């Protein structure tokens, strides 16, 4: 009798596990467009300037869902800096690229609705490559830096099918700490940088309900 109860219990546990696995995709991949805007300020030759760096590109997220609500995500993306000058103070143009690599927890609110919001916090690094295209102002220097980075924010998905979803927007605060080691004023004369990051793309689910 005892063995029979144990067997029935194991069968019920297996059935519950299968049902739970069908409630959500175990793995989600999300290729996306990425945009970063970083305000900068400082002084060059005794004159102050205030501008913003713009960086556009793409990347992707790989998320493993431990439960229907809680998951772990790895986020990587690269972008190209565009349209950035220091104006009449120096007159030089700054070009370059930015690459972020971040990891952290994610909370997703799933329901029978197609609308599924999520929130996440990520930690990792940011590699910044800069070129100053002005010989008189900065000697045409090319510099590369890697610094601590953190993001906090969220977005929402719209389910299109069991396997696919649309991610219209993912908006985040991006914190980086490049410090004052960069000799270019455009690197900012502050120890930390406070940026805005936006992503938009699609989500592909694997396993679970996405089979």
Distances (CA, A) of 121 to 18, 38, 71, 126: 30, 19, 11, 15
For residue 188, pLDDT beyond 90? no
**pLDDT band (50, 70, 90) for residue 205:** very high
Overall residue count recorded for the chain in this entry: 211
pTM to 2 decimals? 0.78
Q: At residue 183, what are phi and psi to the nearest 5 degrees?
A: -75, -15
Helix (H, G, I), strand (E, B) or coil at 88: helix
For residue 47, pLDDT beyond 70? no
Partners of 53 in the β-ladder: 38
- DSSP state at residue 189: S
Residue 5, classified by CB atoms within 10 Å of its CB into exposed (0-12), middle (13-18) or buried (19+), is exposed
Cα–Cα distance for residue pair 104/73, rounded to 1 Å: 6
Q: Which helix (H) or strand (E) holds 172?
A: strand 164-177
pLDDT digits (tens, 9 = 90+) for 122-137: 999 999 888 776 655 5
The pLDDT of residue 82 is 85
CATH of domain 25-210: 2.40.160.20
Q: Distances in Å between the alpha carbon of 7 and those of 10, 18, 31, 57, 149?
A: 5, 17, 44, 55, 51
- Listed by start position, the domains of the chain span 25-210
């Amino acid at each position: 009798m005892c063995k029979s109860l144990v067997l029935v219990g194991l069968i019920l546990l297996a059935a519950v596990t299968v049902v739970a696995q069908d409630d959500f995709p175990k793995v989600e991949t999300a290729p996306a467009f990425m945009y970063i805007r970083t305000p900068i300020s400082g002084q060059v030759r005794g004159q102050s300037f205030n501008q913003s760096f713009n960086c556009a590109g793409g990347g992707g997220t790989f998320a493993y869902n431990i439960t229907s609500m809680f998951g772990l995500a790895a986020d990587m993306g690269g972008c190209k800096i565009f349209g950035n000058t220091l104006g009449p103070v120096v007159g030089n143009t700054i070009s370059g690229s930015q690459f972020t690599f971040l990891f952290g927890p994610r909370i997703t609110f799933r329901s029978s609705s197609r609308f599924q919001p999520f929130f996440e916090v990520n930690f990792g690094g940011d590699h910044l490559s800069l070129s100053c295209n002005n010989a008189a102002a900065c000697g045409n220097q090319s510099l590369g830096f890697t610094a601590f980075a953190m993001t906090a924010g969220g977005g929402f998905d719209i389910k299109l099918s069991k396997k696919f979803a649309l991610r219209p927007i993912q908006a985040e605060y991006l914190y980086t700490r490049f410090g004052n080691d960069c000799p270019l004023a455009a690197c900012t004369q502050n120890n930390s940088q406070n940026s805005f990051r936006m992503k938009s793309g699609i989500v592909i689910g694997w396993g679970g309900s996405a089979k």
